[in-house]
Amino acid sequence: MNTKVNLAGVELKNPVMTASGTFGSGVEYSELIDLNRLGAVVTKGVASTPWTGNPTPRIAETYGGMINAIGLQNPGVKVFCERDLPFLEKFDTKVIVNVCGKTKEEYCRVVDRLSDENIDMLEINISCPNVKEGGIAFGQDPFAVEEITAAVKKYARQPVIMKLSPNVADITEMARAAECGGADVLSLINTLTGMKIDINKRTFAVANRTGGLSGPCVKPVAVRMVYQVANTVKLPIIGMGGIATAEDALEFILAGATAVSVGTANFFNPRATLDVIEGIESYMQKNKIQDIQELIGVVK
């Protein structure tokens, strides 16, 4: 039975990886699960300089999910390369580094710094606010999507994954823009913008007022967007958004995703990634499917 998938020339032993921001760089989770069993580890976002993130409180539980406004807190690319990469290199899994920035130049500096490192792929988080364009996220403007994609591709030696924001009128327009810019792979969806109010304190549940909504509640939206994009562009897709079980993951694969990322589920079930891997294998055995390629995008 073959569970291997290929993303722009990078072969994963299975289609299951972690979603950026929910797994750190794997250090803490390595005490709970065997990282060697994962198709890939996707790191938390890395910027050119350390980011302190947003003020607290930064996380609030919601019905069927959570809202976070961490603000992409990270130690910067220098510390990441010195501390986190050597740890990840110990494991037999692919390493995908998520990159964030506030300007095109910041993205390019990080990508350039990572170009010679032992990294398999780069995932570019374009849900960051573009400070030179009034704070509108790169991923909400198709022209900006194409521009930032083309810019990082000039510096990248690894295949580039563009992570699409769902907070747009037409996700396919953004997917086409990324494809035109030279993206190798697309990942979607990032979090939906949400808000929660604490009725007892009569104030916002997170200090930033709004935050990114994730978890099982966003899955139907995510599956729909993956399906739309899969039928619009020719690039491989990493599907994510509310995946907690193998059944969830299989929905994304049937909709057109070549691989999947498990995110918020890691917080309430540290074994979620392994459960998904084992569940996909069981499904394939039960249905006499010899190759996972037989499942990708079969629902039209």
Q: Kindly list the catalytic residues.
A: 128
10, 81, 95, 122 from 41: Cα distances, Å:
13, 15, 5, 11
State the Cα–Cα distance between residues 137 and 130, nearest whole angstrom: 5
State the Cα–Cα distance between residues 11 and 193, nearest whole angstrom: 33
Q: Which residues of 30-44 are buried (b: 16+ CB within 10 A; e: fewer)?
A: beebebebbbbbbbb
Candidates 215, 297, 300, 268; CA nearest to 15 is 297
Candidates 88, 109, 196, 119; CA nearest to 152 is 109
Are the C-beta atoms of residues 210 and 195 closer than 8 Å to each other?
A: yes
The count of other CB atoms within 10 Å of the CB of residue 287 is: 9
Two tokens at 105?
A: 């130049």
Are the C-beta atoms of residues 61 and 300 closer than 8 Å to each other?
A: no
Candidates 176, 188, 193, 105; CA nearest to 142 is 176
